[in-house]
Amino acid sequence: MALVDRIGSGMEGLGGGIVLTSVDALVDWSRGQSLWAFAMGTACCAMELIASSFSKFDFDRLGTFPRPDPRHTDVIILAGTITEKMKPAVRRLYDQMPDPKWVIAMGNCTVSGGIFYYDSYTVVRGADTFLPVDVYISGCPPRPEALQDGIIQLRELVRMESIAPGKRRERTPLLPGAPAVSASDADKGEQ
């Protein structure tokens, strides 16, 4: 077990978990404010991904920085159509990312196949057929503001993480009146 895991499980017993909860809150807040993104830009949405990183929309003020190497990143942004030829490469890049990691499906093509749903013989209809997607951003292409909103929404999911191994926290529902997402529901989304 890694040192962090041992510290985490050690803190779980201390003081009824108050220490762990506070440390978790701090770690998750700092993680959410600095989500480095792997820009897996395949097609047209990559243009909007680039535009959102540059001076007019400026991703860097949210702490998100596009990195070309999956091993340095927390979140993979799938921007653009994924074809059968490209699918193994994307899966391999996702596997190279260290935990904890999240997936944003940007654009209609990664959500469901988009405009290429019908009649195409190579398009993968939705990234969630082979990756556990956390945030779906629809649009063809979505505006850069929509992508930045997706990152801000992702911070809610980041808050569910805990440094103690195997433990997840409650997530406050985004919409008033919706049921709170419990730890067991979150695990269903993982492969």
Partner 1 sequence: MNYEDLKSRLTQLSPKLSPLFSQEFGDAVIGVERGALMATARELADIGFDRLGMVTAVDRGAYFVVVYRLHSRSLSTAVFLKTRAPRDEPVVDSVCAVWPAANWHEREVFDLFGITFTGHPDLRRILLPEHWVGHPLRKDYEDEHIIRRPDYI
Partner 2 sequence: MPLEIESRTSIESEEGLPVEELVVNVGPSHPSTHGVGRVVVHLDGEIVVRADPVIGYLHRGIEKMAENRTYLQVVPLTDRLDYVGSMYANWAYCRAVERLADIRVPERAEYLRVIVCELQRIASHMMGVGASAADTGAFTMFIYAFDVRERVIELFETLCGARLTYNYVRPGGVSQDAPEGWTDDVLAFCAAMPEQLSEMDTLFFGNTIARGRLKGIGVLSAEDAVSWGASGPTARASGVNWDLRKHDPYSVYPRMEFDVVVGERGDAYDRGRVKLLECYESASIIVQAISQMTRGAYKADGLQRLITPPAGDAYDHIESARGSLGVYLVSDGSPRPYRMKVRSPAFCNLSLLPMLAVGHTLSDLVVILGSLDPVFGEIDR
Taking only Cα atoms into account, the Rg of the chain, rounded to an integer number of angstroms, comes to 18
Instruction: Single out the residue of 81, 110, 148, 162 in contact with partner 2 (rule: CB under 8 A).
Output: 81
DSSP letter at 191 equals -
**183 in contact with partner 2 (CB under 8 A):** no
What is the C-alpha to C-alpha distance for residues 137 and 140, in angstroms, rounded to an integer?
10
**26 in contact with partner 2 (CB under 8 A):** no
Residue 50 interface partner, choices partner 2, partner 1, none, CB cut-off 5-8 Å depending on type:
partner 2
Q: How far is CA 32 from CA 14, 110, 111, 169, 184, in A?
A: 26, 23, 23, 15, 22
**77 in contact with partner 2 (CB under 8 A):** no
Contacts of 70 (CB under 8 A, 6+ apart): 38, 76, 93, 94, 96, 97
Query: Under the rule (CB under 8 A), what is the footprint of partner 1?
Result: 84-85, 117-122
Count residues contacting partner 2 (CB under 8 A)? 34
| Torsion (CA) 71, 92, 78, 67 in degrees, nearest 10 | 20
List for the chain the helix, strand, coil content (%; round to 5). Answer: 45, 15, 40
What phi and psi, each to the nearest 5 degrees, are found at residue 24?
-60, -45
- The CB-of-121 to partner 1 minimum distance in angstroms stands at 5
Residue 117 interface partner, choices partner 1, partner 2, none, CB cut-off 5-8 Å depending on type:
partner 1
- The CB-of-85 to partner 1 minimum distance in angstroms stands at 5
**110 in contact with partner 2 (CB under 8 A):** no
Stretch that binds partner 2, among 23-31, 77-85, 157-165, 183-191 (CB under 8 A): 77-85
Q: Site residues (CB under 8 A) for partner 2?
A: 40-44, 46-48, 50-51, 54-56, 68, 80-81, 83, 85-86, 88-90, 93, 115-116, 118-123, 140-141, 143
